[in-house]
A and B are shown apart, each in its own frame.
Chain A
């Protein structure tokens, strides 16, 4: 079945550091891929998405590129801020609209 594997956390970085959170997936066909973010005390929010190979999703300085050849959708940001501290979830959807999530990566940014 479909599955998502993402980088284990927690990840701790200093402000302005470069961020990469790895995500790989297993799926038949061509799923749509997503990154969701959960800020402390808030609900899960869509951060960015890509619906076909080579698409790049971007939002709030974050980017991720749908790589079919490596079945990956790594999240990157060039310069993180304290306000980026959150839990990040990689997910895919295929067919019947059920999101399949990775286990989440907790990110802490220190000033």
Chain B
């Protein structure tokens, strides 16, 4: 079946511009996560959506970052006024449920380069 998809796969933007990254989770997965991987570093948690509950935004690095999710489907991560330190691979993952552990299935990521 279809896995987690993300678009675009690559994005180059100028410093100060806004960008929007999209994630399509696996159908039926109620939990959705965004992570960031900067060069040479591990993955950092950004935000977590579980069903209709309020999202856990504790990993967002600044108020320039925001994310939305419509029901249990698509999510968009928006970065406003991009900075060079925002350059990273942004990974989305989904899982069947948020209570107890269920495997998180990752998308291929969006590589963001801020020039």
Contact = CB atoms under 8 A, between A and B. Distances in A.
Interface string A89-111: 10101001111111110000000
A100 B45 contact: yes
A49 B102 CA distance: 11
Interface of chain A: mostly helix, strand, loop or mixed: strand
A45 interface: yes
A89 B108 CA distance: 15
A58 interface: no
A98 B31 CA distance: 11
Contacts, number: 54
Interface residues of B, number: 26
A4 interface: yes
B106 A89 contact: no
A42 interface: yes
B107 A101 contact: no
B101 A44 contact: no
Interface in A36-65: 36, 42-46, 49, 51
A43 B41 CA distance: 16
B63 interface: no
Interface of B: 3-4, 31, 33, 35, 40-45, 48, 50, 56, 59, 91, 93, 95, 98, 101, 103-104, 106-109
Interface of A: 4, 32, 36, 42-46, 49, 51, 89, 91, 93, 96-104
